[in-house]
Amino acid sequence: VDRERLPGAEHPETLATRANLAVSYWQAGRTAEAIVLLERVVVDRERLSGAEHPDTLTSRANLAVSYWQAGRTAEAIALLERVVADRERLSGAEHPDTLTARTNLASSYRQAGRTDEAIDIEERVLADRERLSGPEHPATLTVRANLAVSYRQAGRTGEAIVLLGWVVADYQRLSGVEHPDTVAVTSVLRRWLT
């Protein structure tokens, strides 16, 4: 409220604050509130900064994630396809934001049952992440875990278990057995093995 009163509702800092609040909403599971706020932020960012401004693209990607979280998969996919195309054109295919956008698109494809498309994207992103960031980078481990989930959804259970086993071993070695990420992927692997 202070941000809107002092610098104004359309000031870049006010938009950033609203965008951050929306992200906090969807992280807290308050998806409907996040969507309302992010839709407004996207419209304002497009009008004030342009459709291709990095902050606009980030807001659009966050809105897509909120749509995905709310089960509005078709809307999330359409928005993420646009974000991926814009990121590739404006920042390049290997930019970290482009790779993140592709990863989010793959997750939406998987949620929509378009598993083969998700696997194609995740395999390419994994190769790019390994080459650009290294095999032990947290983003690389996340993509590897996502690919394991897609393999399992596609009925490639053996490959999924092996791949997720590598992720568990890497997390244990890099972060320790009690780290939340290690615990989470270990729990998934245990469920798959039972």
pLDDT at 3: 45
- 192 and 104 inside one domain: no
Same domain for 100 and 135?
no
The phi and psi torsions of 97 (rounded to 5 degrees) equal -65, -35
Provide the mean pLDDT of the chain.
Answer: 92
Q: What is the mean pLDDT of residues 106-120?
A: 96
- Domain range for 134 is 118-194
Same-domain status, 89 and 168: no
Percent with pLDDT over 70 in the chain: 96
Number of domains in the chain: 2
pLDDT surpasses 80 at 94: yes
Q: What's the pLDDT tens digit per position in 17-76?
A: 888 898 888 889 899 999 999 999 999 999 988 999 999 999 999 999 899 889 899 999
Q: What is the pLDDT of residue 110?
A: 95
The residues, any chain, with a CB within 8 Å of residue 42's CB and separated by 6 or more, are 56, 59, 60, 63
Report residue 11 as tokens.
Answer: 């000031």
The 10s digit of each residue's pLDDT in 78-87 is 999 999 999 9
Domain endpoint, select from 112, 138, 153: 112
On whether both 43 and 137 belong to a single domain, the answer is no
Which pLDDT value is given to residue 5? 52
pLDDT for the residue numbered 6: 53
- Are 36 and 127 part of one and the same domain? no
- Residue bearing the bigger pLDDT, 42 or 11: 42
Amino acid sitting at position 192: W
Q: Is the pLDDT of residue 92 over 60?
A: yes
Q: How confident is the model at residue 7 (pLDDT cuts 50, 70, 90)?
A: low
154 and 107 assigned to the same domain: no
d(CA 89, CA 158): 37
Euclidean distance between CA atoms 142 and 95, whole angstroms: 17
Both 15 and 102 in one domain: the answer is: yes
Same domain for 128 and 49: no
Q: Are residues 40 and 71 in the same domain?
A: yes
106 and 133 share a domain? Answer: no
